[in-house]
Amino acid sequence: MLPREEFVEQAYLFRILSERIHQDITLQDLLEQCRFEVLATTKLPLAIGFLLTDLKHSGIMAPGMKRLQHYFTPFQTFVIEQSEQDVGQFDFQSALKVLRFEAEYRANTDSMQGMFFYQFEVLCRNRLNYDRGLKAMSLDPIYSKDWHDWLLIVRKQLGIVDIADLIYGRSEDFVAYRKRHLGEDAEADYPILFGEREGKIAFANRRKEPLFLFAAMQRHLGYPAVPRREVRDTAIEMIPQMHRRIERLETRLKFMEDEQRQGIDITKFYSANKPVPIDLDEML
């Protein structure tokens, strides 16, 4: 895990990139600016310099981040890689917002439960590749060995077993349920990863839409809300366009009516500033 100040500066980098990406400035120039704005005592300026060099050669950021595995997490690289693909609706602006909130959350807490729900909700809401996404999550240094093994199990069973059941089976509430029915000596045969609160929320959302589960977990665990893609309202722009089209139609109809009646008088379109004839005899 990197020191806290590294994640604070990463969050600042992703924030200013998302704010300035629409200012008609290339990503290379933006990184060059950010290189001098971030804290020089961290390793982020060196990472930006490496990304800038690789970006000028390849045109994308993901390969450079993949080479910096000791600094950027595999999930961060995966998010940028998904946004740089030609297919799909996950754009680069959304990826920067996702990484910004994740870096801010890492800087304030090391909760593995909250980080799991945030990253997994990112996969679900943006319809990213679950197989590669869960693989990248399992390699995140914030997770312990038990979490690494469980994420690989989720990777195999997702789509076959409900995610709420997978969470409930690894919670303390499930252990309490077994003790009530099997005796006080009943213990789980595998590591417990979630608390009693998470287990109750997962049990209450079984066989339901997973987004209800994420909304409840986000309220109780306090991890950042996953940024959603902004849907642009085109109705405001359509009204002036329709107004201009109606004016053009009215002009065409007027020309057709004039042609049917008496023909079009094109003399009214002549310029009013007619050239004045010059008398050479007077000038001489």
Contact assessment for residue 112 and residue 192, using Cβ atoms and an 8 Å cutoff: no
**Whether residue 99 sits in one domain with residue 225:** no
Measure the CA–CA gap between 217 and 49, rounded to whole angstroms. 38
**Whether residue 15 sits in one domain with residue 141:** no
Contact assessment for residue 71 and residue 51, using Cβ atoms and an 8 Å cutoff: no
65-75 as b/e, with b when 16 or more CB fall inside 10 Å? beebeebbbbb
**Structural domain tally of the chain?**
2
CA dihedral sign of residues 38, 40, 44, 47? positive
The one-letter amino acid code at 266 reads: I
In the chain, where does DSSP find H-type helix? 4-20, 27-37, 44-58, 62-67, 74-83, 92-108, 112-126, 130-138, 145-157, 163-168, 172-182, 196-204, 210-221, 235-261, 280-283
Q: What is the pLDDT along the chain (284 residues), one digit of tens a residue?
A: 899 999 999 999 999 999 988 887 888 999 999 999 999 999 999 999 999 999 988 889 999 999 999 999 999 999 999 999 888 788 899 999 999 999 999 999 989 999 999 999 999 999 899 999 999 999 999 999 999 999 999 999 998 999 999 999 999 999 888 888 777 666 778 899 999 999 999 999 998 888 899 999 999 989 999 987 766 666 677 788 888 889 898 888 887 887 777 766 666 666 666 555 555 555 55
**Whether residue 148 sits in one domain with residue 39:** no
**Whether residue 39 sits in one domain with residue 130:** no
**Whether residue 131 sits in one domain with residue 220:** yes
pLDDT value of residue 186: 67
| CATH number for 73 | 1.20.81
pLDDT value of residue 269: 63
Residue identified by tokens 């009943």 is 186
Residue 205: other Cβ atoms inside 10 A:
22
**Whether residue 135 sits in one domain with residue 38:** no
- The C-alpha angle 190, 199, 129, rounded to 5 degrees, equals 80
**Whether residue 217 sits in one domain with residue 86:** no
Contact assessment for residue 216 and residue 201, using Cβ atoms and an 8 Å cutoff: yes
Q: Please give the structure tokens belonging to residue 4.
A: 């806290």
Q: Which domain holds residue 101?
A: 1-108
Distance, CA of 30 to chain centre: 19
**Whole-model pTM?**
0.79
Contact assessment for residue 128 and residue 94, using Cβ atoms and an 8 Å cutoff: no
Grouping H, G, I as helix, E, B as strand and the rest as coil, residue 50 is helix
Grouping H, G, I as helix, E, B as strand and the rest as coil, residue 39 is coil
**Whether residue 43 sits in one domain with residue 96:** yes
Confirm whether 150 is domain-assigned: yes
pLDDT value of residue 235: 67
**Whether residue 214 sits in one domain with residue 104:** no
**Whether residue 89 sits in one domain with residue 174:** no
Q: DSSP letter for 161, please.
A: B
Measure the CA–CA gap between 98 and 89, rounded to whole angstroms. 14
Confirm whether 191 is domain-assigned: yes
Q: Please give the structure tokens belonging to residue 275.
A: 């050239």
User: 54: number of CA atoms within 13 Å, CB side?
Assistant: 15
Backbone angles phi, psi at 22, to 5 degrees: -100, 15
Backbone angles phi, psi at 107, to 5 degrees: -70, -20
